[in-house]
Structure 1
């Protein structure tokens, strides 16, 4: 008889399998779950590692259904502003980074929040002061804008009279002068001039992101922009290389980036990429941007923005064209991953996902973000069978939402803001994605906010009392069980990994996470304080809080 490599016992095991939700032990052999409960003891052998949970909880590894690891990894290696939330801190980090990288042709970074600046937008004057000699390009935390200095504007040939590019806005002040804020595709005018990082740096960024996600208990994800997109280089070949070298320890679903200025002919490239992907990296989805975000008035709304009577946002792809694209992509057996923030964009996506069903095809189409959903579209959403890919960490009354978003929304729109429970109650399946580096990829932070509709106490972007105590539309909170499912079985289904991963069940891959507390046993307000002790991917240890690396023997036999 084959013996187990690992046996976990001594703490609650939440399987996320509705047929056997809880058990007391798990045995793992050759990367698979081979026994549960009392049967696990029979798999003990002389080399079996016995892991005493000491009352801590074992769950399936978390899966992120919408994340940008390359962007996150590059941000961690560059001028990373994501861990602070003040103008003084931004000033110090930018100046320090420029001083530490005197040979860099460009100063690049990301992670700034608009609410830090007067009027919600930064100005090139501060960057000109801090870095007068080189171009600076800093992407906003949400990825929908860039803050640049005068040198960068000059490099791109952007003047006060340069017309707005298709799908973008060059922000200007009251005198008509370009401010250094470039919205949506206007940022491409500068990012196109920045040399791609070299191969070594890109792979270092992906490995940095992988290690960070493993440290949070994430064992699988959907990369929501595989291709040259959002100012990032194409990660496709790098994922393949890491897989071939045995360094890809996560399981990754690639969502191939749809270039809106190309036609249906790009589907042939997608088919080639799907056929070439292998092992832990499979490119089975297609990502399409349908609109922007509310904070810069580019999310597509069914009525005008508050205070802007003639502005209803941008439809990056017109409804008829979107329907033509989704039908063609679905016919080739790809899962659709549609970015839709505004209620008009969501409606266009719901219409476009009213697709013919065919025998043998089990689509995992999803609409991501869903900041605003018109109540009239909820039942139709459910009827499509599409998945709601939600980012719960946004569903709270933090300064970003209160100061830079809510003022643009009328009262009726504010009442349908991140309507998670409404969607769930209507029968829409939920999957959670973090959209990192837009927001933290910590699953426990996301779960905390999904359940409480308030911010976790450690979040640097929500330190105020209102963020942490005053819930945003509390009737739209989901239960802890629903939140855990959306980060495990729900995300696994969205990632097309549910046959192998997402639950603790016999025969499943042993993607596991040991939490330092049982989420089912703590107060709801303490969920965000739970941490990760160990993470296993495919039965192999990939993170230990104690050792910050591969695990040694956890408990002497």
Structure 2
């Protein structure tokens, strides 16, 4: 048999205990078919000499927002500008000059922590935008900054207006909106912009996954589609299908519908189907390139905006954040989704939200049994010691984002104080307890570069030069690499087809200038990505 491809002179670390290393890799019909002596003497349509480069399984970011990230690449970037708020205003003014009258001005990446805890002045924004509506996403995604025109269009000034459940229009002491809208209240404005067209989403996926390929990413989990404030269109799956057909999807995608997209389906009563998507699609539907994953359920908000639900007040504050809805409603929603065949991906950051998420997920498992695709707690921002054995026993994965340490770590530590810091976005204690910890970034809420994420798991350093939590939470480089490869595949229910370089698995790999497991940990982020391969085809190459 003639192979499609032979990769020679590699220094592959397979992460497969049966063959930890390999020098030659054989690829045929998108799969890994053998290594070293197994392919010795085989001919191939193409042979690529890797000249001693390091090779690892392709990286898998299991929690990110790819369409949103693609859209940000075409929006006004106001993240951490050195000129402070004046530079924010200047950038927005420049965008306004290019925006036709009546059209939306869109920005992204704002974080009050970067600007001395200050937010833009709504009066200045109104003057700059000159009647155009404005929507600027906070970097966390859990709040946004808008101007008066946007609030008018959203009906905020209409008689009898009330904040939606799970969100609020922030007001000053006199009751005037400040321009900050939190959590579910964002949808009041977003729904004036959405749904995005399929063309727009396809273009965003094209931009985003081209970026992913340059960083060694071959798989990702899209954490919320089709509905809610994180969805872009009720036909978002159509956009993914078209992007794949047009060669604009350069990584494998597991799509997580937002719980708002699920609805009662009029199936035969004997089926007891419950809630889902039309045609009866549930978690697991799809193929190796595009599949439906767990359903995304929000328990609370974000630590950066202090909307995550804690059991005790934020440090120096008189509030403890809030749950997205009544706890019993969230419990019922979780059980209904699980009973209907959906694995669960429950967003829970504060320790109160984590308490509720664990209680609901374990009840669902005890009542209806295990799922092939594991249940997850997205972010798991504050987890107490007593929860570790429960998470391990029930096979619940957690997705703490190491990338947050640099971007918002100092602010988070200030928000919870030193006594609670050991609970914040834990790492090594999850691994030691046998809890699945797949790698993820929450991009564009944080830097999605995987090599930077690996280093962050290892050093946990904030932008201000502090370590987030105790040194005992630092993971080893190998543990961090496995988080983005082997564990990510298992937590997504795909451990049988990817995550290690093993015979029969998908030919998804990354070629690096050096191995993250062999260099000084302080320079992992600087390793060059020389090539990325998905299904035996290079999606990026500097070879």
Offset at residue 65 of structure 1 (A):
0.6
The 1-side partners of 2:329 and 2:197 are apart by 36
**Pair 1:370-2:380 in alignment:** yes
- Contact kept, 8 Å, 2:283 with 2:295, in 1: the verdict is no
The 2-side partners of 1:340 and 1:30 are apart by 41
> Which among 263, 280, 288 is matched to residue 289 of structure 2?
280
SS of structure 1 residue aligned to 2:23: strand
Match of 1:379 in 2: 389
Match of 1:124 in 2: 122
Offset at residue 525 of structure 1 (A):
0.3
SS of structure 1 residue aligned to 2:185: helix
Match of 1:308 in 2: 317
Match of 2:137 in 1: 139
Match of 1:205 in 2: 204
The 1-side partners of 2:391 and 2:69 are apart by 31
> Which among 448, 472, 486 is matched to residue 489 of structure 1?
486
Cα pair distance change 1:318/1:426, threshold 3 Å: farther
Cα pair distance change 1:382/1:244, threshold 3 Å: same
> Which among 451, 472, 489 is matched to residue 444 of structure 1?
451
Match of 2:258 in 1: 257
The 1-side partners of 2:194 and 2:335 are apart by 36
Match of 2:271 in 1: none
Figure out how many residues of one structure are paired with residues of the other and give that number: 529
Offset at residue 260 of structure 1 (A):
9.1
**Pair 1:478-2:475 in alignment:** yes
> CA-to-partner distance for each residue in 1:328-378, whole Å, 9 max, x for gaps?
333343321110100111111111121138788434111111111122322
SS of structure 1 residue aligned to 2:52: coil
SS of structure 2 residue aligned to 1:541: strand
> CA-to-partner distance for each residue in 1:291-341, whole Å, 9 max, x for gaps?
1112333211112222333x2222224444444333333334332111010
> CA-to-partner distance for each residue in 1:453-508, whole Å, 9 max, x for gaps?
125xxxxxx4xxx33x6554322111111111110011111222221111100011
Cα pair distance change 1:81/1:487, threshold 3 Å: same
Cα pair distance change 1:93/1:9, threshold 3 Å: farther
**Pair 1:415-2:416 in alignment:** no
Unmatched 5+ stretches in structure 2:
266-273
- Contact kept, 8 Å, 1:252 with 1:280, in 2: the verdict is yes
The 2-side partners of 1:173 and 1:112 are apart by 20
Unmatched 5+ stretches in structure 1:
456-461, 547-553
- Contact kept, 8 Å, 1:319 with 1:348, in 2: the verdict is yes
**Pair 1:352-2:360 in alignment:** yes
The 2-side partners of 1:359 and 1:182 are apart by 39
Offset at residue 202 of structure 1 (A):
1.6
The 1-side partners of 2:261 and 2:218 are apart by 31
The 2-side partners of 1:512 and 1:100 are apart by 42
> Which among 338, 341, 345 is matched to residue 333 of structure 1?
341
Match of 1:458 in 2: none
**TM-score of the superposed pair, with normalisation by structure 2:** 0.90
- Contact kept, 8 Å, 2:213 with 2:250, in 1: the verdict is no
The 1-side partners of 2:506 and 2:384 are apart by 39
Question: What is the RMSD computed on CA atoms of the aligned residues?
Answer: 2.6
The 1-side partners of 2:360 and 2:98 are apart by 49
> CA-to-partner distance for each residue in 1:381-424, whole Å, 9 max, x for gaps?
2222101112111135x5x332x433331433223111211222
**Pair 1:55-2:79 in alignment:** no
Match of 1:236 in 2: 237
**Pair 1:294-2:303 in alignment:** yes
- Contact kept, 8 Å, 1:62 with 1:219, in 2: the verdict is yes
Match of 1:550 in 2: none
- Contact kept, 8 Å, 2:225 with 2:231, in 1: the verdict is no
Offset at residue 231 of structure 1 (A):
5.2
Match of 1:166 in 2: 165
**TM-score of the superposed pair, with normalisation by structure 1:** 0.88
- Contact kept, 8 Å, 2:60 with 2:488, in 1: the verdict is yes
The 1-side partners of 2:372 and 2:296 are apart by 18
Match of 1:186 in 2: 185
SS of structure 2 residue aligned to 1:431: coil
Match of 1:93 in 2: 91
Match of 1:459 in 2: none
Offset at residue 241 of structure 1 (A):
2.3
> Which among 506, 526, 531 is matched to residue 528 of structure 2?
531
The 2-side partners of 1:22 and 1:151 are apart by 60
SS of structure 1 residue aligned to 2:493: coil
Offset at residue 19 of structure 1 (A):
2.6
- Contact kept, 8 Å, 2:8 with 2:47, in 1: the verdict is no
Match of 2:434 in 1: 427
- Contact kept, 8 Å, 1:243 with 1:279, in 2: the verdict is no
> Which among 494, 505, 508 is matched to residue 505 of structure 2?
508
SS of structure 2 residue aligned to 1:411: coil
Offset at residue 281 of structure 1 (A):
1.2
Match of 2:221 in 1: 222
> CA-to-partner distance for each residue in 1:69-118, whole Å, 9 max, x for gaps?
11001111222334856434433432232223336711112111111334
> CA-to-partner distance for each residue in 1:499-554, whole Å, 9 max, x for gaps?
1111100011100111122212210100111121111110011112x4xxxxxxx5
The 2-side partners of 1:242 and 1:322 are apart by 34
Offset at residue 169 of structure 1 (A):
1.8
- Contact kept, 8 Å, 2:380 with 2:400, in 1: the verdict is yes
Q: Which deviates the most, 273-282 or 518-527?
A: 273-282
The 1-side partners of 2:111 and 2:277 are apart by 38
The 2-side partners of 1:104 and 1:7 are apart by 56
Offset at residue 30 of structure 1 (A):
1.5
**Pair 1:75-2:72 in alignment:** yes
